[in-house]
Structure 1
Amino acid sequence: MVNIRALDPSASPLDYFGSELRRKREAAGLTQKELGAIVFCTGSLIGQIETTLKVPTREFAERVDAALMTDGFFSRLVGLVLRSQLPTWFQPYAEMEAKATYISTYQAQMVYGLLQTEAYARAVLATGMPDRLDELVAARMERQRLLAREQPPLTWVVLDEAALHRPIGGREVMRDQLAHLLSFRDDRWVRVQVLPFRAGEHASLIGSFNALRFADDPDIVYTEDLISGHMTANPDTVREAALRYAHLQASALSVEDSAALIIRVMEERYGHQPAAEDSDVAEVQL
């Protein structure tokens, strides 16, 4: 006799997803193998998700909704499931980030998480040697959905030139990542500026930081150390961060010149051949 693992639906969003998947599958009179065939996966994967051994993807949740006719139930729930896979210390920030109307960030070492490609994110997250890398990558991709909302937050990124040159994940990954940055050139809600090496000393040599602004709540400043993150709404800290960010923006290249630099780095370091529409931008004098 098969030993069916008992789940406590109240233990976590993942447990709730698994128990509901099992309950609704059985109510539909389907075996794990039969449901797997409908949603293009194995019955074993269905079983692993039902018993929380695997974390569902958004695509999986959408297919299950269609197969079981659950009116978007699993698609709505999967967001909570994926957010719960973020490190415990990061989850409060992710919740505030999702509520923000304006996000400003200076990134000294790497591309900002909301603008990372999946391959680049995987290479970055792997450096922490996590036990469940796939789940962390899926959670980071889920975070990025806030940029696709009908009313997304205005997101302003000042990216140190070092992040363009550091070959995270290898040449192909970097080429795709820089191309992804360029895809935001015509996005009215996302602006990317590059702080060039020639700027020399600047207002945030101490490191990266994020600032969040809300419609009805106090502004927040967020920083990270080696193993955790820190949020504060202290007015003095918020004011100091705003002042430093203004100086960073003033020292950075314009959005247009930043795009030209990104294209140049793609060509020189990662073998990118610019398309015709990129050539006009590349002619900007840096």
Structure 2
Amino acid sequence: MIKKMKNIGMYAFLILVTFISVFPLYWMVSASTNKSVDVSKGVLSFGSHLGENLKNLLANQDVGAALVNSFKYAILLTIVSMVICSLAGYGFEIYHDKAKDAVMGVILLAMMVPFITILVPLFQMVAKMKMLNSTLGFILPTVSTPFLIMMFRQSARSFPHNIIEAARLDGLSEIRIFFQMFIPTMKSTYAAAMTITFMNAWNSYMWPKVIMTQSKSMTMPMVVANLTEGYVTDYGMLMLAVLICTLPTALVFFILQKNFAEGITGAVK
């Protein structure tokens, strides 16, 4: 009887936590279908103004161009980051020595430096290189991050070294060992890193706001921020924009969630 009561209490607690977690998502979806005045009043039921909100959003902002820009920047940054950071993490672990440990320590110290402190020097550098309003200017500061390098290095520690020795004896080059053996083995780590990188790139706001000075280079977070400017905010239209901005990252996470969990825990198959 006591065990059943504990189970009931546990399930009740989990249901409550689930409701608290899901409610903001439900409110975002329902608010995107209501008028601004209804959202302000706290109406939680679904309305019939989704089409009107979408029409107003498309009339006020170039959502199509912003979506294309966000996808372009996020996908390209994710691909380049995977190659560079995985190569770095693999090299730090497989070709291990004390000098590389010292360099890795310096790289990890960079995690303690807030991005805002290097924002002005980065902007000046990008401006002098004439990369404002460009894809390269967007991805350059975050194409290689200490966190991803550390993540791939930790993953490389679980990679069987005897396989590397056997591959070398068979005549495989170091680059073929990496691309043909390491990458397929570390699929879960790559899935986790891709999820993190894509979400960070998609949700990035401060750096694009600084270097993207032309309206044609705007991203979705910048579109959402623009909707809050002015004297009156249309909350229905705003929540619809937030919903559109949220869907790609949510879709990526749901597709890769199993591999994401395995990659974070360092599982190797």
Smaller-chain TM-score range? under 0.3
Question: Higher helix fraction: Structure 1 or Structure 2?
Answer: 2
Q: Please, what TM-score do these two structures have when normalized by structure 1?
A: 0.22
Higher relative contact order (CA 8 A, sep 6+): 2
Instruction: Please identify the structure whose Cα radius of gyration is greater.
Output: 2
Q: Please, what TM-score do these two structures have when normalized by structure 2?
A: 0.23
